[in-house]
A and B are shown apart, each in its own frame.
Chain A
Amino acid sequence: MERLDFVLAGHRPVQAFEAILVGVVGSGNLEVLVEPGDHPASCTFLINTSAVGFGAIWEAVVKGFQARHQLCGVSVSINDMGATPAVVSLRLDQAIASVPFLKAPAS
């Protein structure tokens, strides 16, 4: 098993929300739990994976995701059983589809 943690800056604030879970911990699959987070200006990514040695790929996927979505005040926790980067990205997108972003003022 490998644990990976990333804390990435973001600026799209969210309203309070109930935890969201997508996916399932099956072979080639993963579950993603999105919850309100402790850091107002960043998003934390906590990954627990049975596929050891892919830290660089996880980092790339997570950074790409955060570059698109700029989450802050959110925590993303993952239990992974060898999903491909494509499946990981899919689940991440599914997970935040219901996150209620605050309307950003024009700036």
Chain B
Amino acid sequence: MINALSYAELNARQRVEHLLDPGSFTEILGPSARVVSPHLALLGVPYAFDDGVVIGTGLMHDQPVLIAAQEGRFMGGGVGEVHGAKLVGLMRLALKVRPMAVFVLAESGGVRLHEANAGLIAVSEVMRAVLDVRAAGIPVVMLIGGANGCFGGMGLIARCADHVVMSDQARMSMSGPEVIESSRGVEEFDSRDRALVWRTTGGKHRFLMGDCDLLVEDDMGAFRQVAASLLGCSQKLNLQGLLDEQRVLTERLENTGQCNDAGEIWRRLGVEHPERVADMDVEQLQALKASQILGAS
């Protein structure tokens, strides 16, 4: 792709600037406000002026939106007390100002272990707050494309949103491969086997499974285009919707619960040549998904 601007290589603030209409972003509690973590100094770790998350208001195609972007290179994007409170505050602000969407550019290992208990509680508060926004008919859209992926509590929050967009470089999961390996051994999950990691947690696999709705190239333009297409696209949760989800997840276990690797799952989903998926580009994956006979959904 010519003139591609890599989402993965930009920092959080740059991603926000490029996603929104030029010059339209107004940051809330930015670095000058210095709302920093009160806990990190105890561990001899420096704080960041924005506690690793950029939040604010802006426009996308002239429509009002709210946005949050996690800085994956600060504490792995982990959610601490202030970071979590900024996200909760943004969701509550959405209920007040009713934007066309709330975008969360997630890049996080989940709970910031350095803030342990405060981070754990914060993650659940963010989950409830996201579901409140969703229930109000305001779409919450997760964009996942950073090198650190979207793990732990943020992986849970991601699947509470109306839509999940991933690049083929991105990863989304609950526990990271390193955590599983250090707990259960390399035979359980070799975290250095990149192909295995991406087959298990990467954008292509999640897209084929249906855990991410939209797959894009690692390009700001592609993310922006897809994000704009989701403005106002609310998917309120109700009993029927959750009963449908229950059915989908039950069938997934019945059909593929015995599979040991992604290739086996893809084959059962109707992919004739699973060994080719790793080399396919986004457009080919999208065509493949569209032609699948057995829907994953």
Contacts and interface: CB of A to CB of B under 8 A. Distances in A.
A66 B30 CA distance: 26
Contacts of A35: 32
Contacts of A25: 46-48, 74
Interface residues of A, number: 17
Contacts of A48: 46-47
Contacts of A1: 41, 44, 46
A50 B46 contact: yes
A26 B32 CA distance: 19
Contact of A19 (B32, B41, B74): B32
Given A19-B30, A19-B32, A35-B32, A26 B74 contact: yes
B270 interface: no
B13 interface: yes
Contact of A81 (B30, B41, B45, B49): B45
Which interface residue of B11, B13, B30, B46 has the most chain A CB atoms within 10 A?
Answer: B46
Contact of B46 (A19, A21, A33, A81): A81
A80 B47 CA distance: 9
A77 interface: yes
B44 A21 contact: no
B49 A79 contact: yes
Interface of B: 11, 13, 30-32, 41, 44-49, 71, 73-74
Interface of A: 1, 19, 21, 24-26, 29, 31, 33, 35, 48-50, 77, 79-81
28 contacts: A1-B41, A1-B44, A1-B46, A19-B31, A19-B32, A21-B30, A21-B31, A21-B49, A24-B11, A24-B74, A25-B46, A25-B48, A29-B73, A31-B31, A31-B48, A31-B49, A33-B32, A33-B49, A35-B32, A48-B46, A49-B46, A50-B44, A50-B45, A79-B46, A79-B47, A79-B49, A80-B46, A81-B46
